[in-house]
Structure 1
Amino acid sequence: MKNLRYTLLGICISAMGWMGCQPDLLETIPNDRISKEIFWQTIEDATFAANAVYPSLDGTSLFSYDGLSDHVLTNHPFNANVELQRGFGTIASGRYFSEWQNAYRAIRRANDFMDNIDQVEESDQAAINRLKGEVMTLRAYQYIKLAMLFGDVPLITSGIDIDTGRSITRDPVSQIWDFVADDLSQAAEWLPYQNGGRVGKGAALGLKARAMLYAGRYEEAASAAKTIIDSQEFALYPDYFELFQYEGENSQEALLTREFAADVNAHNIYATAAPWSQIPGSTGSLYVPTQALIDLFPMANGLPISDPGSGYDPRNPFDNRDPRLYQSVFLSERTPLPDGGIYGSTPGTDGSDAVQITVYSTATGYNIRKYVDAEDYTNPSNSGLNIMLMRYAEVLLTYAEAKVELGQIDPSVFDALNEVRQRESVGLPPVTPEQAGTVDELREIVRTERSIELAFEGFRLFDIRRWQIAEQVMPGVPMGRYYEDNGEWLQIRLDGFDRSFDPNRDYLWPIPLREQELNTNLTQNPGY
């Protein structure tokens, strides 16, 4: 036993001596996570890191932006949007914080990629540059939203530590636009138009056109849009309704989509938008159209319903209208439902979705039809339908609007505008220079076309802000459909749901309270 003790002691002393000669022996690589020491080595690693930024793109949340506008009502009274729509939002409101947090989480992932990508030893520099272009485009997508929602925000372009995060300040929104423009220009140089379903040149240039339009930099907006148009890489899908159904996925109109797959990476846009009657055991009708939007759709002859010569009949308001109205909205007693029935919303009836038949049925008498695909009827929370984030029609309308704002009204403006209006399934008469009239009249035509074509795609909130018309269109009681009751013609009024908009405050959201508590250097927007 004595000899055994000496033997063990000797082994221990030898082992300690050997370990003492290897100071890095205890610096082991963790096996419960991916470590930087072994990760940034191959093009596959870089691709995985780029993939981690893609989930930050909007999905069903697109509807929620329109749900804060005059064209869409947030239909569930307990939804977080309601207090904002009514002007009751405070710096402690969760919606403000979640938008800020989600955007900067995505930016952090993108910055981590950009900080480390050059460690990858890869002979194919074009492949590295493509991934850089993808991530730069995805990061710009977030900064565009932040700039439109909050104005001045911290411009963070590389990884930061906790102490820095508690001391950063807001950068002028003009610097955000400069950064976005430069990054997207560089990304566009590196990216091909066709990139295997990933972010491509069209997305980079399209986002630059969008950002510059939002920023009021119309020359740059028109130039980026024109580059896409001249490339002939994209085209309008012939059927407007199918464009937002499974049939229209991955069409030549799509520049940027958030891709989903049933059972793997699904979403619930069907359950969010579809009429209550089409959501067995669920709620539905979270966001519903208002009459303000319905009234924008012209007659099939192209004339607005307010024109005495349009042929509009107030007692038959849905006859002979722009086909996009039927393709975008469930209308009363005339639109087929996914279950094979007929949509019926007339108050006081036993229609499928009569107003007030349940707390979840539409309050305005309308429901959104875009993205409601009958294929999802049996499993409404397991939709694999891709969500369109940018499409060619937006590019055409961006070009037309930017040229109008520049006063450069030439045939190309009417070509872009009329290409949208004359989609095969729409077929509205073209707008001519004689019909357009003055610059102000043409501006209204372009804005109306944009509001109709891009309805329910997340643009209206940002448009009424940059057009500085929110205080004109937001306040008051939301209005719904007209209907007949015992020979009397009535209109739905959502009394008690007055919306408000303070132009001295509400053109920007507040910096969230939790962010200011963590960093007192973050100044607050006026009025909060």
Structure 2
Amino acid sequence: MRLNIYKTFLVLIVMAMASACQKDLLETVPDDRLSAESFWKTERDAVLAVNAVYPNCLDAGDRLFMFDAFTDIGHTNSFFSANAQVEQNVFDASNSVIATLWTELYQGIASANFVLDNLDKIPTADQALINRVRGEAKALRAYQYIKLATRFGDVPLVTKVLSIDEGKALERTSIDTIWDFIDDELSEAADLLPVSYAPADLGRVTKGAAFALQARANLYAGRYQAAADAAEKVIDLGVYQIYPEYGTLFSYSAEGNSEVILDRQYVKSVLPNNIFGTMAPYGQLGRDGANTYVPTKALADMYTMANGKEIAEASSGFDATMPYDNRDPRLRFTLYVPGDIMPNGQVFNSLPNSGTADAVGGTFFATTTGFTLRKYVNSEDAANPTNNGINVILIRYAEVVLTYAEARIELGLIDETTVNAINEVRQRGDVNLPAIALGTSQTELRDIVRRERAVELAFEGLRLNDIRRWGIGEQVIPGAVGGIDYVEEGEVKTYVVPSFQKQFNPSRDYLWPIPYTERVLSPNLSQNPNW
């Protein structure tokens, strides 16, 4: 479906022009848009219309990386960008990043509403196809509302195409009502969607994706029984499993593997992304790119030792002079650390004063923490760093399994099923950490599953929402940004990003402000506290 979805706008314009050419020359037909009179006639129109919803609703890779840079585990490499202001929590309601995110989310909702408002106009003998399209649009719209609710709290609930006057009169809807709407929409969508698609339609929302989004939404809402139930529905489908190699999970060879529930699909030279050019080590890129978002010491320190013990435990075996050795293998599968081999075969050396292109603090283009991301950085893209075709995973089975475990932990259902869910993730073939034992306390399991989410799903765009729902922002975000640990003249040191401090005001920063421009356009929109 890669080409089907992302060529939709071009196809629609061509169809409109062809339709206009067949009409009498004295009739004026707009040639820059489609009209209701010329569209919504066939099942193909329905498919083309819902195809156009996907690019408005599925996050690109840079969006996911950006959201994690707003947390403790990531950092915006450019100090002077609007993104850096959001990371530091030193912005206001006029910030362009926040305004753009709000606009993009409601654009996605508007495109889904356009489909849902018009589907029933199509005379059809293939009701199953129309129902599938309806399910796709409902699931994608619900996906947008999950993002809105977690970022802004109460938001306008818009379920149809609005007139200008209706837009001006918008008010915010309570977050509980939004969560109810999301849950109902995803239940309805799941009933309409297939478990899988033929190869030509890969990338569309499936029944499993609808249930997985429902599990995510209910976990975020603190509705743990509903979250566990939805996650269990994904598990019971029997079509997903943990991919055995975390080290290749984000590679071209693993695209569409059994763990992927929903991804945003790309095609090199046709519909490319720029992940390699913005995330690979600068020493690999040279003039072809620069680091945009980079991991932090906070993330690196979350990975346990290979024996399963935290690095601060006295008996863990952690050696501060070799801080990244004998660790959870996911550390080096996720991050480039000093000594790793880059796709060009050269050694990544970000140590201060190393004289390499990657030396931390050496240029404005190299990493400012000494770490860079390894996920999605593939050797196939090295020759043309800005022309990548790697798909970006938006939902995968490991998240669902951890959601199931966390929800059961919060419900007090501490049994073999709960513990096995965590172990299923941490014991995949090339990770193989020691199993969590049955009998581990609820408090201990809560800490374990939260750390598992942080390291397993790092730089997949979920950390900010986790921090907010757990209420730990003031504990983990404020302060300087730490980077690599290294040895200099026999002394263990930690590189700290200079002149950069993150802040977090718990009375304000658990929600973002309603953008200033939106409140000008819709005066009935209230503002979040202390913005």
Matched, 1:428 2:433: yes
CA contact (8 A) 1:276 1:353 kept: yes
Give the alignment partner of residue 237 of structure 2, picking from 231, 236, 256. Answer: 231
Matched, 1:387 2:389: no
| 1:405-424 deviations in Å (ceiling 9; x for gaps) | 11111111111100101111
| 1:244-300 deviations in Å (ceiling 9; x for gaps) | 010110111111100110111111111121111122313322111111111110111
Give 1:446's aligned residue: 449
Q: Could you tell me which amino acid in structure 2 is paired with residue 72 of structure 1?
A: G
CA contact (8 A) 2:283 2:356 kept: no
**1:31 shift after superposition:** 3.7
Give the alignment partner of residue 80 of structure 1, picking from 70, 79, 82. Answer: 82
How many residues align? The count is 502
CA–CA separation in structure 1 for the residues paired with 2:232 and 2:435: 20
Matched, 1:217 2:217: no
Deviates more, 1:355-364 or 1:466-475: 355-364
- What's the secondary structure of 1:36's corresponding residue? coil
- What's the secondary structure of 2:434's corresponding residue? coil
Q: Could you tell me which amino acid in structure 1 is paired with residue 55 of structure 2?
A: P
**1:200 shift after superposition:** 0.5
- TM-score, reference length from structure 2: 0.93
- What's the secondary structure of 1:355's corresponding residue? coil
Q: Could you tell me which amino acid in structure 2 is paired with residue 327 of structure 1?
A: F
Give 2:500's aligned residue: 497
Give 1:162's aligned residue: 164
- What's the secondary structure of 2:262's corresponding residue? strand
- What's the secondary structure of 2:45's corresponding residue? helix
Matched, 1:241 2:244: no
Q: Could you tell me which amino acid in structure 2 is paired with residue 397 of structure 1?
A: L
CA–CA separation in structure 2 for the residues paired with 1:442 and 1:172: 32
CA–CA separation in structure 1 for the residues paired with 2:278 and 2:89: 23
CA–CA separation in structure 2 for the residues paired with 1:260 and 1:457: 17
CA–CA separation in structure 1 for the residues paired with 2:89 and 2:28: 55
Matched, 1:290 2:289: no
Q: Could you tell me which amino acid in structure 2 is paired with residue 305 of structure 1?
A: I
Give the alignment partner of residue 204 of structure 1, picking from 210, 224, 232. Answer: 210
CA contact (8 A) 1:474 1:500 kept: yes
| 1:348-381 deviations in Å (ceiling 9; x for gaps) | 1123511122111111111110010111111111
- What's the secondary structure of 2:196's corresponding residue? coil
- What's the secondary structure of 2:480's corresponding residue? coil
**1:510 shift after superposition:** 0.4
**1:179 shift after superposition:** 0.6
Matched, 1:417 2:422: yes
CA–CA separation in structure 1 for the residues paired with 2:426 and 2:530: 41
Matched, 1:468 2:471: yes
Give 1:9's aligned residue: none
Give the alignment partner of residue 317 of structure 2, picking from 279, 301, 311. Answer: 311
Give 2:366's aligned residue: 361
CA contact (8 A) 2:357 2:366 kept: no
Q: Could you tell me which amino acid in structure 2 is paired with residue 54 of structure 1?
A: Y
- TM-score, reference length from structure 1: 0.93
Give 2:155's aligned residue: 153
Give 1:51's aligned residue: 51
Deviates more, 1:287-296 or 1:301-310: 301-310
**1:26 shift after superposition:** 6.6
**1:522 shift after superposition:** 0.5
Give 2:6's aligned residue: none
**1:301 shift after superposition:** 1.1
> Where do 1:318-397 residues align within 5 Å?
318-333=324-339, 335-397=340-402
- What's the secondary structure of 1:281's corresponding residue? helix
CA–CA separation in structure 2 for the residues paired with 1:323 and 1:98: 37
CA contact (8 A) 1:343 1:352 kept: no
CA–CA separation in structure 1 for the residues paired with 2:357 and 2:259: 34
CA–CA separation in structure 1 for the residues paired with 2:109 and 2:505: 31
Give 2:19's aligned residue: none
CA–CA separation in structure 1 for the residues paired with 2:364 and 2:500: 15
- What's the secondary structure of 1:462's corresponding residue? helix
Q: What is the aligned-residue RMSD (CA, Å)?
A: 1.3
> Where do 1:510-521 residues align within 5 Å?
510-521=513-524
Give the alignment partner of residue 462 of structure 2, picking from 435, 459, 463. Answer: 459
> Where do 1:265-276 residues align within 5 Å?
265-276=271-282
Give 2:20's aligned residue: none
Give the alignment partner of residue 101 of structure 2, picking from 55, 74, 99. Answer: 99
- What's the secondary structure of 2:495's corresponding residue? strand
Give 1:264's aligned residue: 270
CA–CA separation in structure 1 for the residues paired with 2:184 and 2:26: 45
CA contact (8 A) 1:482 1:491 kept: yes
Give the alignment partner of residue 403 of structure 2, picking from 381, 398, 404. Answer: 398
Q: Could you tell me which amino acid in structure 2 is paired with residue 343 of structure 1?
A: F
**1:33 shift after superposition:** 2.6
CA–CA separation in structure 2 for the residues paired with 1:30 and 1:368: 47
**1:236 shift after superposition:** 1.3
5+ residue gaps, structure 1, are: 1-23
CA contact (8 A) 1:342 1:352 kept: no
| % same residue | 48
- What's the secondary structure of 1:492's corresponding residue? strand
**1:25 shift after superposition:** 10
CA–CA separation in structure 2 for the residues paired with 1:158 and 1:396: 34
**1:326 shift after superposition:** 1.0
| 1:190-211 deviations in Å (ceiling 9; x for gaps) | 1111023111011100000000
CA–CA separation in structure 2 for the residues paired with 1:358 and 1:27: 61
CA–CA separation in structure 2 for the residues paired with 1:360 and 1:354: 10
CA–CA separation in structure 1 for the residues paired with 2:120 and 2:458: 42
Q: Could you tell me which amino acid in structure 2 is paired with residue 106 of structure 1?
A: G
The alpha-carbon distance between structure 1 residues 31 and 479, as it changes in their structure 2 partners (threshold 3 A), is closer
- What's the secondary structure of 1:209's corresponding residue? helix
Q: Could you tell me which amino acid in structure 1 is paired with residue 162 of structure 2?
A: I
Give the alignment partner of residue 486 of structure 1, picking from 489, 493, 498. Answer: 489
